[in-house]
Each structure stands twice: as C-alpha cells, then as structure tokens.
Amino acid sequence: MTAEPPGAEDAGRPDALGLDAILIVSARSFVERRRHVAAQLARLGLRGDFIDEFDADDITAEVERRHFAGDGLSRGQKSCALKHVAAMRRIVENGWQRCLVLEDDVVLADGFVDGVRAALAETRGLAHPFVVYIGAGGNFYTPASRRQPGRRVYEAAKGRFADSYILGADEARLRLARIDAGPMHKPIDVAFEAIDREVGIRFLWLEEPVVEQGSKLGMFRSSLEPAPPNWLQALRYRLERLRRKHLYQLWR
C-alpha cells in the first residue's frame, strides 16, 4: 500500500531523491501514525510504501516458532521485526541498491532531503556491504573531533536504531541469510547490529542526523514495550540529547 494521505496524489517519487524506494514499517491499525508519516513525506514531495505484512494479530504460531526463540519479545516487537524482515525481502526481490526504510513514528527534519542526498552522494562508489543510519536513534553522534568540514557520513563501531536507514539488496541478502539460519531473541535493531557485525556490514552514520522518533519526542506512545508517560519520555529524550550531542562533545 502506498503512503498517500488525502490530497497527496501528486506526491513525488523516491527516485527524485536518488532512492530506489521508501518502505515504511507500520501496522495497519496505526491510523494516526500512518497519516503522520505519509504527511511527513508528502510535504517534501515524497511517498513510500507501507509494509502491511505481519501485523501482531497476523503472526501464526508456526511463524513465531520459525523466527523467534525465548519469551523476551512482545508481540509488538515480533511484528516490528518481521516487518523489517519483509522489507529486506522486498528489497532483494526488486534488486534495489538504495532503499530507505522508515518506521512510522519518524519526524523528518527540514534538512531531510539534503541529508539523504549527501548520504547517497558520499557512499556512491563505496564497496558494499554497508548500511547508512540517517536518524538520531539512541542519541548516538560521531565525536566532534572526528568530523570534517563538508563531510556528512562517518564510519561507526555500532548501529543506530532501526527507525531510519538506507541499504540495498546486497546487505538485505546477508541479513536474511542469517535470520533464516536461526531464530531471533532480541529486538530487531539489536538483532541487525549483531548480524551486521558478524557478516561484515559496515555501520555508517549521517551527521547531522535528519530523522528523530516521534515516540521519543512524546508524540506517540511506544507500541513495542512499556514506556513512561509521553511528557516524561520527551523530557528524558531531550536531556539525553543535550548530554550526548552537546556536553559529551566538549571532550570527544
């Protein structure tokens, strides 16, 4: 299903940004979130396709046994994981090499278009496999001491969260092979990081990030795990951002 709110029929195609596709991880019942992300893209002249497979109520016992082990994940976390896996399969099937995957609570910065274009330009010709994280997931930032004028993409020792990342069929194929080989027992961003480290997918971060998570900003309740009230979640996130983005940079 294409992410088109009322009045967005003329929204532009992802290839206008240099992307093969934009895929959106979302549950069919999350009407408010779906409208939110569709409107976020439409205001930039973009649109994406929702991953509608594997809503929580759709997950059968057989699928659950095949893909998960242990009891550490909620139904929402399992649904989110399977939707990311479905996105990987779609990327491989279409042979896409520059696909943006977004979760449905993303907040796109005013510099989103320039950030994505910079990420694609600076990684053009770079040997695969790699994944480019374009969001501020976890409030992780490249130390100021490593940054260079005019440069936006930096190699990192770990991934950011799975709210917003760019990758292609090469990377998706490597992830799927590992996922198909054994069940998952951690949230998908943790699972992806472990897989990427194991199979040699390089972690790249965009600086400055151009995506934040609305659930962290207090716009939505987390659908994956217990969370504090929205106002407290937003306060904690902003304090952490102040600490990691600004205070830590004074000596890094």
- DSSP symbols for 93-148: HHT-SSEEEEETTEEE-TTHHHHHHHHHHHHTTPPSPEEEE-B-GGG----GGG--
**Both tokens of residue 204?**
């790249």
Q: How many residues does the chain have?
A: 252
**Both tokens of residue 5?**
């709110």
- Residue 6: the pLDDT is 36
The segments of the chain whose pLDDT lies below 50 read 4-11, 250-251
- Bond into 64 cis (ω within 30): no
Dihedrals phi, psi of 22, to nearest 5 degrees:
-120, 120
d(CA 130, CA 165): 10
Give residue 109's Cα distance to chain centre: 15
d(CA 87, CA 21): 11
Q: Tell me the CATH class for 14-213.
A: alpha beta
CA atoms within 13 A on the CB side of 63: 16
- Under 8 Å between Cβ of 106 and 137: no
Q: What is the DSSP letter of 248?
A: G
At 224 the three-state DSSP class reads: coil
**Both tokens of residue 104?**
């449905």
What's the pLDDT tens digit per position in 165-180? 999 999 999 999 999 9
- Residue 139: the pLDDT is 79
**Both tokens of residue 36?**
């939110």
d(CA 229, CA 220): 10
**Both tokens of residue 145?**
């001491």
d(CA 237, CA 232): 8
**What is the reported pTM?**
0.84
What's the pLDDT tens digit per position in 199-218? 999 999 999 999 988 776 66
